[in-house]
C-alpha cells in the first residue's frame, strides 16, 4: 500500500539528529522544502530538522525499514510513487543532480560521509523484519495470550529441560539465523527417536531457547551434524538405561573466538558458550526428536551432564597435539568431538613427580571406569589439568607417548578379571583367564587438556558400554564448517 505521507513526485530525505552530517545539511533540507515537495523521515527526533513542513516521525523505524535505509542522510527522488534514484551521505554534486539548485548548500564542504541508519544497528534489523517484514520462517507459530507468561508457556508445552528457556520470538530466531550463511530451510538430518526432520531454522529456535548467541550457530550446527553421524548411535544413547549422554569437546580457533572456557572450572558452570551449546543439542533432541526423559529416554539415573556437557580443549601449549588433530582433523581447523559421557570422576594424585609414577597412578583410576573387572565396557576421556600435564611435559612425553604408556599400564591378567575372581561375581568370561586384557579398545581412551593452573587434580569421564561394538558405535570427530 502506498505511503500517503511520502510525495508521489518529489524528494524524501531520511535523517537523524544524532548524525553530524544530517545536522550539517539541515539548511539544505530547509531550502529543498521551500522548493518542494519534500518529506523528511526523522529517525530519532520529530522536531528535527527545524523549518521543514513535512517531518515524519520514524522513531519506530518502519519507513526506514521499508525504504531499506543503510546510512543517513539518504536523499531519494520519487516519480509516480516509485523510487527512481538515491544518494547517501552529503555530496554537493550528487544532491544537486537529484534535487537541483536548491541543494547547493553554499558554505558547506563539498563532501562529508553519513552515519549508520538506526534501522541497521545491531539487533535492530531482525526486530524490524519480525515486526514489519516477511520473516520467511516456516515453523508453526504458537500464540500466547497478552497476559500469559511466555516462559511459563514453554514449561507447560514441555519445551524445557527443567530449567527456564528463552522464548523463541521471531526477532530472536532471525537474529540467531544471522550467525550462519546456511539457508533456514536446509535439513540437517532426522532427529531420533521420532526421526523428525530438523532444519537450520529449528536449530536456531532451540539455540535461542538454550540461550546461545548468534556467533555460536556454526558450532551448534557442527555439534548436531556430529551427533547425527550413524557411528555415534544417538538413538541408542538416548534409549539406554545407562548414565551416558552426549559430551561435546571443541577444538580450533572458534573456541577462543566465541569465548569458550578451557581453563578454570572448564567442566563447570559460568561460561555461556560452554553451557548453551551443549544445552542446545539436548533441547533439539527433546523438542524436535521427541527424546523425553521417562518416555524414550530410559536412563536409570542419568547424570547432570544431560542438561549440558560441553567444553573446549586448552590448546595454549604448541607442543601438545590437540584431540581433533590427533583424530585426523587438519591443524588449525575447527572441530567437534562427540563422546558418550557418563559424568565426571575426580582423580587426585598429589605425590607423583615422574611420568612413570603418574601413568601408573592414572591407570589405577582409569581401571575403575564402568567396573574394575570389566574391560571394553565403555571408552573414557582423560582430562589432564596443567599441573599433571606438566609432569609429562617436563619428562619429554608427548600425546603419543602418554597414550602408549597408559595402554601398557592398563593391561591386566585375565585371571584377576574373570567372573568370581576376588570374590566378585561381576567380570569377564572364564575363558579369558589365561590371557592379558586391555582395559580399553584401541582408540577408546581420549586425552584432552583443560582446567585451571593450580591443583593436582585431573578428571576421568567414563563412556557408554554400547561402544563395545566398535564397528557400529564410537566417538565421532568432525570438522566445523
pLDDT of residue 337: 98
Query: Checking phi first, is residue 47 left (phi over 0); if not, alpha (psi -120 to 50) or beta?
Result: alpha
Residue identified by cell 531420533 is 192
pLDDT of residue 2: 59
Residue 417, Cβ neighbours under 10 Å: how many? Answer: 25
Round to whole Å and give the CA distance between 48 and 326. 62
Round to whole Å and give the CA distance between 480 and 199. 17
Residue identified by cell 568370581 is 420
First to last CA, the chain: 42
User: Which residue, among 447, 414, 446, has the nearest Cα to 430 in the 3D structure?
Assistant: 414
pLDDT of residue 320: 98
For residue 138, which phi and psi values (nearest 5 degrees)? -105, -20
pLDDT of residue 175: 94
Torsion, CA 98, CA 100, CA 102, CA 103, rounded to 10: 40
pLDDT of residue 144: 80
Residue numbers in the chain where pLDDT is lower than 50: 1
Round to whole Å and give the CA distance between 191 and 186. 14
CB 53 within 8 A of CB 148: no
Residue 183, Cβ neighbours under 10 Å: how many? Answer: 12
User: Which residue, among 137, 140, 166, 172, has the nearest Cα to 153 in the 3D structure?
Assistant: 166
CB 115 within 8 A of CB 72: yes
HSE of 248 in the Cβ direction (CA atoms, 13 Å)? 33
Here the cell at position 358 is 603418574
CB 260 within 8 A of CB 314: no
Residue 34, Cβ neighbours under 10 Å: how many? Answer: 11
Element housing 187 (H / E) = strand 187-191
Element housing 355 (H / E) = helix 355-366
> What is the pLDDT of the chain when averaged over all its residues?
95
Here the cell at position 441 is 579398545
Residue identified by cell 515486526 is 131
Torsion, CA 243, CA 222, CA 346, CA 233, rounded to 10: 30
Domains contained in the chain, CATH given: 10-119 (3.40.30.10), 122-340 (no CATH), 343-462 (3.30.2320)
User: Which residue, among 21, 127, 6, 138, has the nearest Cα to 77 in the 3D structure?
Assistant: 6
Instruction: Please tell me what DSSP assigns to residue 392.
Output: H
CB 366 within 8 A of CB 406: yes
User: Which residue, among 23, 121, 114, 12, has the nearest Cα to 56 in the 3D structure?
Assistant: 12
Round to whole Å and give the CA distance between 152 and 160. 10
Round to whole Å and give the CA distance between 274 and 264. 13
Here the cell at position 112 is 562529508
CB 29 within 8 A of CB 43: no
pLDDT of residue 1: 45
pLDDT of residue 123: 84
Here the cell at position 172 is 530472536
Query: Checking phi first, is residue 78 left (phi over 0); if not, alpha (psi -120 to 50) or beta?
Result: beta
Instruction: Please tell me what DSSP assigns to residue 98.
Output: H
Element housing 116 (H / E) = strand 115-116
pLDDT digits (tens, 9 = 90+) for 415-424: 999 999 999 9
Amino acid at each position: 500500500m502506498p505511503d500517503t505521507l511520502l510525495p508521489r513526485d518529489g524528494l524524501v530525505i531520511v535523517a537523524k539528529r544524532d548524525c553530524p552530517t544530517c545536522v550539517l545539511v539541515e539548511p539544505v533540507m530547509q531550502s529543498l522544502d521551500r522548493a518542494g515537495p519534500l518529506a523528511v523521515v526523522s529517525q530519532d527526533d520529530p522536531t528535527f530538522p527545524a523549518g521543514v513542513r513535512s517531518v515524519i516521525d520514524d522513531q519506530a523505524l518502519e519507513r526506514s525499514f521499508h525504504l531499506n535505509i543503510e546510512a543517513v542522510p539518504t536523499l531519494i527522488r520519487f516519480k509516480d510513487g516509485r523510487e527512481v534514484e538515491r544518494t547517501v551521505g552529503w555530496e554537493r554534486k550528487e544532491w544537486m543532480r537529484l534535487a537541483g539548485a536548491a541543494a547547493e548548500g553554499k558554505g558547506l564542504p563539498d563532501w562529508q560521509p553519513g552515519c549508520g541508519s538506526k534501522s541497521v544497528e545491531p539487533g535492530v534489523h531482525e526486530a524490524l523484519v519480525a515486526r514489519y517484514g516477511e520473516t520467511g520462517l516456516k515453523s508453526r507459530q504458537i500464540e500466547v495470550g497478552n497476559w500469559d507468561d511466555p516462559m511459563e508457556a514453554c514449561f507447560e508445552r514441555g519445551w524445557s529441560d527443567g530449567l527456564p528457556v528463552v522464548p523463541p520470538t521471531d526477532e530472536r530466531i532471525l537474529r540467531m539465523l544471522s550467525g550462519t550463511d546456511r539457508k533456514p530451510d536446509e535439513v540437517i538430518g532426522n532427529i531420533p527417536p521420532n526421526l523428525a526432520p530438523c532444519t537450520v531454522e529449528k536449530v536456531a529456535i532451540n539455540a535461542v531457547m538454550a540461550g546461545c548467541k548468534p556467533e555460536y550457530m556454526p558450532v551448534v550446527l557442527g555439534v548436531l551434524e556430529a551427533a547425527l553421524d550413524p557411528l555415534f548411535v544417538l538413538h541408542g544413547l538416548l534409549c539406554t538405561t545407562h548414565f551416558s549422554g552426549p559430551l561435546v569437546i571443541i577444538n580450533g580457533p572458534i573456541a577462543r573466538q566465541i569465548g569458550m572456557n578451557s581453563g578454570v572450572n572448564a567442566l563447570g558452570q559460568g561460561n555461556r558458550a560452554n553451557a548453551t551449546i551443549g544445552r542446545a543439542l539436548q533441547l533439539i533432541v527433546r523438542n524436535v526428536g521427541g527424546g523425553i526423559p521417562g518416555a524414550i529416554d530410559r536412563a536409570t539415573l542419568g547424570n547432570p551432564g544431560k542438561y549440558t556437557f560441553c567444553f573446549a580443549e586448552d590448546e595454549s601449549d604448541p607442543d601438545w597435539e590437540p584431540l581433533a588433530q590427533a583424530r585426523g582433523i587438519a591443524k588449525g581447523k575447527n572441530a567437534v568431538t562427540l563422546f558418550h559421557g557418563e559424568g565426571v570422576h575426580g582423580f587426585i594424585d598429589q605425590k607423583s613427580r615422574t611420568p612413570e609414577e603418574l601413568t601408573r597412578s592414572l591407570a589405577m583410576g582409569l581401571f575403575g571406569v564402568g567396573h574394575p573387572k570389566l574391560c571394553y565396557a565403555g571408552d573414557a576421556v582423560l582430562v589432564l589439568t596443567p599441573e599433571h600435564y606438566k609432569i609429562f611435559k617436563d619428562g619429554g612425553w608427548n600425546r603419543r607417548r602418554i597414550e602408549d604408556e597408559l595402554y601398557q599400564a592398563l593391561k591386566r591378567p585375565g585371571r584377576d578379571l574373570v567372573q568370581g575372581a576376588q570374590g566378585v561375581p561381576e567380570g569377564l568370561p572364564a575363558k579369558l583367564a589365561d590371557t592379558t586384557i586391555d582395559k580399553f579398545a584401541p582408540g577408546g581412551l581420549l586425552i584432552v587438556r583443560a582446567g585451571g593452573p593450580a591443583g593436582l587434580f585431573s578428571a576421568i569421564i567414563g563412556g557408554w558400554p554400547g561402544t563395545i561394538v566398535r564397528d557400529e558405535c564410537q566417538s565421532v570427530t568432525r570438522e566445523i564448517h
